[in-house]
Structure 1
Amino acid sequence: MLGTGIYSPADAAALLKTPPDEVRRWAFGYSRLRQGATVAYEPLIRTELPEREGQRALTFVELVELMFIKGFRRAGAPWKLIHEAAEVAARILDTDHPFAMRTFFADPEGIYALMDEGEGRESLVRLVGHGQHAFAPIVQPYLGQLEFDPRELPTRWWPMGREARVVVDPAVSFGAPVLADVGIPTRTLADVYEAERGYAGDDAFRRVSWLYKVPERQVQLAVEFERWRRAA
Structure 2
Amino acid sequence: MEIAEFGIGAYTALEAARMVGMSPATLRRWLVGYVHDGRSEEALWHPQYTHHEEGILLGFRDLIEARIVNALREKRIGLPTIRKCIERARKIVGDERPFSTQQFKTDGKTIFLEITRNLDEPVFIDLRKSQGVFKRVVEPSLQDLDFGPTGAERWWLLHGKKTVVADPTRSFGQPILADYGISTARVIEIVEAEGSVDRAAKIYEIKPRLIRDAIAYEVSIGNRKAA
Displaced runs of 4+ in structure 1, greater than 6 A? none
Aligned twin of 1:144? 143
Q: Distance in 2 between matches of 1:183 and 1:193?
A: 16
Equivalent residue in structure 1 for 2:205, among 188, 213, 216: 213
Q: Distance in 2 between matches of 1:48 and 1:129?
A: 31
Asked if the contact 1:158–1:168 (Cα under 8 Å) also holds between the matched residues in 2, the reply is yes
Larger CA deviation: 73-82 vs 167-176: 73-82
Aligned twin of 1:194? 192
Gaps of 5+ in 1: 105-111, 117-122, 131-135, 198-203
- Of structures 1 and 2, the one with the larger relative CO (CA 8 A, separation 6+) is 2
Asked if the contact 1:49–1:58 (Cα under 8 Å) also holds between the matched residues in 2, the reply is yes
Amino acid of the residue matched to residue 40 of structure 2? A
TM-score by length of 2: 0.80
Listed one character per residue, the Cα deviations across residues 60-103 of structure 1 (whole Å, up to 9, x for unaligned) are 00000000101111222211111121111111111111121214
Aligned twin of 1:126? 115
Amino acid of the residue matched to residue 113 of structure 2? L
Q: Larger helix proportion, structure 1 or 2?
A: 2
Tell me by how many angstroms 1:159 deviates.
Answer: 2.6
Query: What is the total number of aligned residue pairs between the two structures?
Result: 204
Q: Distance in 2 between matches of 1:153 and 1:182?
A: 25
Gaps of 5+ in 2: 120-127
Q: Distance in 1 between matches of 2:28 and 2:194?
A: 35
Computed over aligned residues only, the root mean square deviation of the Cα atoms, in angstroms, reads 2.7
Q: Distance in 2 between matches of 1:87 and 1:206?
A: 51
Q: Distance in 1 between matches of 2:6 and 2:167?
A: 11
Q: Larger strand proportion, structure 1 or 2?
A: 1
Aligned twin of 1:87? 87
Aligned twin of 1:72? 72
- Map 1:17-56 onto structure 2 (within 5 A): 17-33=21-37, 38-52=38-52, 54-56=54-56
Matched residue SS, 1:230: coil
Asked if the contact 1:84–1:128 (Cα under 8 Å) also holds between the matched residues in 2, the reply is no
Aligned twin of 2:153? 155
